[in-house]
Each structure stands twice: as structure tokens, then as C-alpha cells.
Amino acid sequence: MPRKLFVAGNWKMNTSKAEAVALARALVEQIGSQEAVDTAVCPPFIYLTAVAEVISDSRIDLGAQNMFYEDNGAYTGEISGAMLTDAGCRYVILGHSERRHVIGETDEIINRKIVKALGDGLEVIFCVGELLAEREAHQTLDVVRRQVQVGLESVSRSDMERITVAYEPVWAIGTGVTATPDQAQEVHAMIRDLLGQTYDAELAESIRIQYGGSVKPSNAAELLHQADIDGALVGGASLKAADFAAIVQAGIS
Ligand code: PGA
């Protein structure tokens, strides 16, 4: 069975409440009823419930951008997986490069979060990707392999069905520089191969691997038509309803 494309918008630390609601409304109007591509939006925590209400009757799903690996307790400023499901989230993004490189999350921390999110019933968008220096040193495949292996440590095969991997080369995020379709395809194929070895061929064939890093309407079609690219994790362009809708459309046509 061909993999259904999955396009998610990572709004990062952007929008006011009014802007979040307006963006969600515009998306419901433009792509809220299409079924050809799975879609999700990931607003800041504090606007999750407001956006959940706007998209509730549409086919757009809700995701969060992060969570903590404990249930509750003295973890000032953190948010649990149960809180996310309570707010209406289906997905959570974990391992994003800004969490890794700005906040300092390690592969081990990301693994704890992934295991907890799956235990809490969430689906995970698990991000991996190399730094520019690592690409230039020809370490891309090794770095991404390690991130995948450690990040998914002890995740069962059945739980893997609730994982989407997002390959996001750090040098392409928010820079306007996109990996070429060939560069992206090479890493996506390696990830799929690795999942095949770790789990089995059927799982590897069914899992979705998104590309992220300066995806925009003008480059979406070319990327989405690569054999092992099954969608996109979109940052900057997800803040404009028309651009996000055009990226989704590129996956349909
Ligand atoms: P970008 O961000 O589309 O702005 O490059 C992608 C991401 O960080 O998920």
C-alpha cells in the first residue's frame, strides 16, 4: 500500500492567540476537508486548546512541539503527555533541532520523551538531522543513524506504527537553503533501510519519513515526489495559510 503523505506545520514560538486562531480558521477553509494528504498544525502550547476548537470539525489534526517525560510533579514549566492529549493533541514533535541545539536535549533525553509520549497514546513526529559541519565532514549518515538508533531505543514494533520520522538537516532549517531532492532522498533511504534492519521490511515500508528544512510552495512538489519522502515538516511557510495549503496541494497533484 502506498504511504499517504503527511504534512505538518510547526509554528514554533510564533503567533499571538488571535493570529493562531485566524491562521487555523484560514487553514480549515483552504484544506480542512481534503483527505488526500494527512495534515496537522503544531501551535505553541498556550494556544493548543484555542486552535483545537477551530479545527475540531475539520480533517486537520493537532500536535504539540514538545513535552516532558514525567507524568506530573515538581517540574516547573514542563508539560506532560497526558496534558497534551487532554488539550486535544494527536501528535507531538520530539527531537527537533532547536530542542537539541538551542535547549541542549540529548539523544537520551529525546528517547525518554518518545517512550513516554507513546505510552501516553500520542503519535510522535521524531526529528533527526545533521549540522552543516557534520555534512561537510561527510558524517551525515553516521550522525542520523545514531540519532535514530538512540532515539528509538526500546520502542516496540507495534509502537513504531505511531512514529513519523522527520529528516531535517539543521543547515536547511529557517535558512532558505533546502536540501536537494537527491540529498534528502539519500538520507531518507538510509533511515528506511535502518528501520528495516532494526524491525522488519513491512514496518520500514509503511513508516512515513517527512522532510523538513525551508520547504515552501516552490520546492514542495519536487521534494514530495521523491520515492522515500512521505511528507513535510514545515516551519516558516506554515505561518502563511496560503503557503501551507499550497504545500499540501503539491502533495496531491
Ligand atoms: P523551516 O523549519 O521550514 O522554517 O525551515 C522547519 C522546521 O524546523 O521544522
Q: Distance between CA atoms of 69 and 105, rounded to whole angstroms?
A: 12
For ligand 1, atom 2, which residue shows the shortest CA distance?
Answer: 235
Is 96 one of the catalytic residues?
A: yes
Mean per-residue pLDDT, 112-124? 98
User: Looking at residue 168, what is its pLDDT?
Assistant: 97
Dihedral sign from CA coordinates of 134, 91, 104, 195: negative
Q: Distance between CA atoms of 213 and 209, rounded to whole angstroms?
A: 13
Does the pLDDT of residue 238 top 90, yes or no? yes
pLDDT more than 70, % of the chain: 100
User: Looking at residue 253, what is its pLDDT?
Assistant: 77
Backbone φ and ψ for 87, nearest 5 degrees, come out as -80, -5
pLDDT band of residue 50 (cuts 50, 70, 90) is: very high
User: Looking at residue 140, what is its pLDDT?
Assistant: 97
Query: Which residues are CB-contacts of 145 (< 8 A; sequence separation ≥ 6)?
Result: 190, 194
Q: What is the Cα gyration radius of the chain?
A: 17
Ligand 1 centre distance from Cα of residue 186 (Å)? 19
Mean per-residue pLDDT, 237-241? 98
**Cβ(233) – ligand 1 distance below 6 Å:** yes
Does the pLDDT of residue 1 top 80, yes or no? no
For ligand 1, atom 9, which residue shows the shortest CA distance?
Answer: 235
Distances (CA, A) of 188 to 27, 203, 231: 28, 14, 11
Is 168 one of the catalytic residues?
A: yes
Q: Hey, what's the cell of 161?
A: 506504527
Dihedral sign from CA coordinates of 201, 60, 65, 143: positive
Ligand 1 centre distance from Cα of residue 93 (Å)? 12
Does the pLDDT of residue 54 top 70, yes or no? yes
Distances (CA, A) of 118 to 8, 25, 85, 155, 168: 19, 29, 11, 9, 22
